[in-house]
Amino acid sequence: MTAGQPETDHRTASAPYLLPLLAGGLVAVALGVYGRAHPPTGYAVGLAGFSGALAMKAWLTTGAFVLAVVQLLSALAMYGRLPGVTAPSWTGTLHRWSGRAAFLLSVPVAFHCLYALGARFDVPRVMVHSLLGTFFYGVFVAKMLSLPRRDLPGWTLPVLGGLAFSALAGLWLTSSLWFFVVIGVTL
């Protein structure tokens, strides 16, 4: 350090990263603890039009995953990462609304998983699914808290968005795809 330069406090410099990550981590842990400690009821409110709770969860998760693909493609277009594609002016609006809709589709699924089934670790597929579910909501919270912050590096939102997309893809693979392969494609 040269004379006249202020000393940088590394704790203060890392605070913009840590606050959203800490909040997201707390949400993930709280959901995991609740899912593990809460005695599963075996029943949760279902949505009309589905043959059962598993079908509802499979289709809503599929809808959320399709919207997550829209999220991924619109983000890549906005960041100029799709060769030969210029993002139309409405791409940001599409990105925001597809994210909101994907989140809303995930809420009844998460409610059913936590309330009716709880977090389980006895079957590998279900354990991975439980861990991915809590991780998804933790990353989602971290990303939402990072959105209004202008003091974060440009890579922060793409990394958090990529983690959220990866978690949702894993959730779809361990739930909806499993349901469609084992049970069949039913409403």
Query: Which pLDDT tens digit goes with each residue over 55-108?
Result: 899 999 999 999 999 999 999 999 889 998 899 999 999 999 999 999 999 999
Instruction: Identify the burial level of 57 via C-beta atoms within 10 angstroms of its C-beta, where 0-12 means exposed, 13-18 middle and 19 or more buried.
Output: buried
Residue 16 has pLDDT above 80, yes or no: no
pLDDT classification of 161: cutoffs 50, 70, 90: very high
User: What pLDDT was estimated at residue 149?
Assistant: 84
> 149: alpha, beta or left, given left = phi > 0 and alpha = psi -120 to 50?
beta
CA distances from 73 to 95, 167, 177 (A): 9, 16, 21
Length of the chain measured in residues: 187
Sequence-distant (6+) residues with CB within 8 A of 31 are: 110, 114, 133, 134, 137, 138
pTM over 0.75: yes
Segment among 42-56, 111-125, 151-165 with least mean pLDDT: 42-56
> Quick one: CA dihedral 65, 55, 113, 126, positive or negative?
negative
pLDDT classification of 5: cutoffs 50, 70, 90: low
